[in-house]
Structure 1
């Protein structure tokens, strides 16, 4: 079964790289959409505020203020009621909020949590305390939590039979940092189900949970623009 999954994943990854950025995937009888950014073809950026200095908030406003063709976009990390990022946030090389390494309430504080870092030489997910100990040179970065996959292992608090289900989205990069996989569930799923999709199907060794009930995807090729509340940080992937 694992071998069959690996073969199917390789075929899907080749198709995703060569063609459409987003694809429907069934994993453990759950429906997901997986969007893959190829760093040779796509630029990956974090966006928070628009030209007027206030949060963009919506895919409509993101589209209006983005010149390059958008391949896809999704919510890019947790945020406060005023839409300020929770934890580390870096945009265009400027740090707007600092890293948080202490344990705390909610999903964000379920250590280990992590940082999605977009650098000139590739993108990767880094555990937050490792990031704080030796901060890399990230052009853009967003902190969230919990980590879904940590160096090939699932987060220790994830249970295969968990009944805690929710809409969820997350991000993970291939080991070389060139292919970046953005995943959103199309139905309520557990952390375990999403984490095993990253590890066992996409071959990701480090993956990060971005958010839950607010999870949304904009994918023009699919005719998809999920409605919902105003967002904080947005991850946008554009054609180079």
Structure 2
């Protein structure tokens, strides 16, 4: 009986030496290029923000005060509260309040990780407060104001309808956050507060090289709020 023979199995195919090297190198180069592009975009983005934070218009505090107060007056008219808000007052949870304040402006640096104040720059804010605002009036007013701000292109960042036993809030911004408005109603105290902030600007009364450090409070002290009209 003839012996059975088994044909030898073919040897597994082997890739030519170095056949995978070019694609691997190209892949590494592609990853490295992508990282460099992302780094460049990151640096340009934060560099531009740093440039914007220090290249500000030189605007008199009164002009910025007029702008902030106009926003507050338009909002107060929309809210429909029937009482005037005279200037002055603390606005700390009792009675009325109506006045200006000012904050420092900041430069985040090239990478956005610094927290330096911009010499001679200020951000003006107008705030007001009204007591004895019932839930029904606060709720209706916030609904109207929410709709108007949205129609005018403001970005609504927070909205909570006021109701009996539930606080109400409305926050909005535009121009990248340079302009902001905020409104809060406390259900417990029936107390309504509002405010508007306008972009940073250099105070014309400040000059580079002044020996005394600049305080934004000087901008706020130079202006007086008119009465808010119903």
TM-score range normalised by the length of the shorter chain: under 0.3
Q: Which has the higher contact order (CA 8 A, sep 6+)?
A: 1
Q: Counting helix residues as a fraction of each chain, which structure ranks higher?
A: 2
Structure with greater proportional strand content: 1
* TM-score in terms of structure 1 length: 0.25
User: TM-score under structure 2 normalisation?
Assistant: 0.26
Higher alpha-carbon Rg: 2
